[in-house]
Amino acid sequence: MAEFDSHWMNAWQDVVNADPGFKVVGTHFTADFLLGFGEREYVVSVREGHVERITDELSIETPWSFALRAPEESWEKFTQKLPPPMYNDIWAMAHPLHGRLQMDGDVKVLWQNMRALMWMLDRMREVPERELVEERATRV
Amino acid sequence: MTAVREPVTGGYVYVPYAGHEYRVFYEEAGEGIPLVCLHTAGTDSREWRHQLNDSDINGNFRVIALDLPRHGKSIPPIGFEKEDYRLTGKFYSEFVMAFCEALELDRPVIMGSSMGGNICLHLALNFEEKVRALIAIEACEYSPGWYISWLAHPHVHGGEACATSVFGLMAPQSPDEYRWETWWYYSQGGPGVFKGDLYFYSVDHDFRGLSEKITGNVPIYLMTGVYDFACTPEMTAETGKKIKGSETIIMEDIGHFPMCENPETFKRFLMPVLEKIQAGAREPVGAGAGS
């Protein structure tokens, strides 16, 4: 089960940066956005289709354009290899009766980069198992 | 080498409606009971290519899929550039019937998905004497929340945004090739067309209080996929309970675009419906049937 800690976030960053499709769809994707997994929050910095940095040290030095926040249980369903109905997509999760995902901030940036954003979120399902993730150094 | 050809042919027909002569493109295949297929919002008749080509379907039905005005190869009416396009239930339902009249179809079956499913409720209420049966896919009496301004905004790529916003409506079980093909259709709509269609889907279409008025004289089949979060199975089932003579069919492992995201899975649910229509069966069967 994904724990959405720094190990997991780094592993996701590696998966996204190694993905050939993301290099294509994300060529013009440059943004800083916030991901909230329950109480845990990170700012993800993407520069021209490359995840440059993920940090959990949030301050005025880490501004973000838009935010996606959802309960941890919703992201756990979203990241399953075969996500269940109502949890396979951020718009599905935004349903108030289901995933309760909140979108905040400058959502225009989200709409402008939606394909690249959703492409990288879908890669969350490819994050390796816990043992492999823990072997890696923490960068967050 | 022998060319591989499909049985599908395309044609144009002029449909007079409200002072315009609409040049309408349609594809068709087969012979038998006319089966008119309605595409979803912002796309066109290509969504129905699998059913058009399926000999199990076109062997008994004359399958016809049209492009609504502004969609696919059907051009918009003169003066469209000055309009804020908003599809209404009145135009949509009357236009579909005008198209059927232009082709001289005798009491066709109408099958539509999403907005094409929702319009089936209008056809049931207002045109029951002119249709044989209705197959309303991903339909319910009220589906709010999709009339979104970002879908037609100069700072947002319309093709990318429209297509990507609906991608998650398809089930993860559906083959990648068909899901991305559906994405492709969505990426090709004219500016503001998807948004304008969604005006009907989420605003103008409000059948709360009207579903109960459908007489039940025409069989109506409500078919919804479990991954549809725009019109959830619960929303369809609630509507089904209110429509006399309806049958609600919940489809596992599929989402909002059954005919094009996973034609094989959809066929398993569709064939029994078509067989009932052929047999002229009028009695609703199965869970969720209306009273």
pLDDT exceeds 60 at position B285 = no
Q: Do B168 and A86 touch (CB under 8 A)?
A: no
pTM of the predicted model as reported, rounded to 2 decimal places? 0.94
> What pLDDT score does B282 carry?
42
Closest chain B C-alpha to A72 CA, distance in angstroms: 20
Question: What does the pLDDT look like over A42-51, one tens digit per residue?
Answer: 999 999 999 9
Closest chain B C-alpha to A82 CA, distance in angstroms: 7
Q: ipTM strictly over 0.90?
A: yes
Residues of A in contact with B232 (CB under 8 A): 86
First to last CA, chain A: 20
Q: Do B155 and A112 touch (CB under 8 A)?
A: yes
> What pLDDT score does A96 carry?
75
Nearest chain A residue to B170 by CA: give it: A88
Nearest Cα neighbor of B67 from B22, B107, B110 is B22
CB-nearest to A92 from B150, B160, B168 is: B168
Question: What does the pLDDT look like over A78-135, one tens digit per residue?
Answer: 999 999 999 999 999 998 778 799 999 999 999 999 999 999 999 999 999 876 666 6
Tell me which residue has tokens 């004219």. Answer: B190
Q: Do B157 and A91 touch (CB under 8 A)?
A: no
Q: Where are the domains of chain B?
A: 9-278
CATH class of A6-70+104-125: alpha beta
Nearest Cα neighbor of B143 from B228, B227, B231 is B231
Closest chain A C-alpha to B258 CA, distance in angstroms: 15
Q: Which residues pair with A43 in a beta bridge?
A: A34, A55
> What pLDDT score does A131 carry?
65
Chain A stretch 79-138, residues whose beta carbon is closer than 8 A to a beta carbon of chain B: 82-83, 85-86, 88-92, 95, 98, 107-108, 111-112, 114-115, 118
Taking each helix axis as running N to C, give the angle between helix B89-102 and helix B115-126, from 0 to 180 degrees, rounded to the nearest 10.
80
Q: Do A82 and B173 touch (CB under 8 A)?
A: yes
* Residue B53 exposed, middle or buried by CB count within 10 Å (0-12, 13-18, 19+): middle
Nearest chain B residue to A121 by CA: give it: B168
pLDDT exceeds 90 at position B46 = yes
Query: What Rg, from alpha-carbon coordinates, does chain B have?
Result: 18
Residue B12 tokens, joined = 């144009």
Closest chain B C-alpha to A111 CA, distance in angstroms: 6
Q: Which residue of A74, A80, A89, A122 to mutate against B (max B Cβ within 10 Å)?
A: A89
CA distances from A6 to A97, A123, B78 (A): 29, 16, 58
CB-nearest to A114 from B153, B161, B172 is: B161
**In this structure, which CATH number among 3.40.630.10, 3.40.50.1820, 3.20.20.70, 3.30.479.10 belongs to the domain B9-278?**
3.40.50.1820
Nearest Cα neighbor of B134 from B247, B269, B267 is B247
Q: Do B172 and A90 touch (CB under 8 A)?
A: no
Number of neighbours of residue B83 by Cβ within 10 angstroms? 12
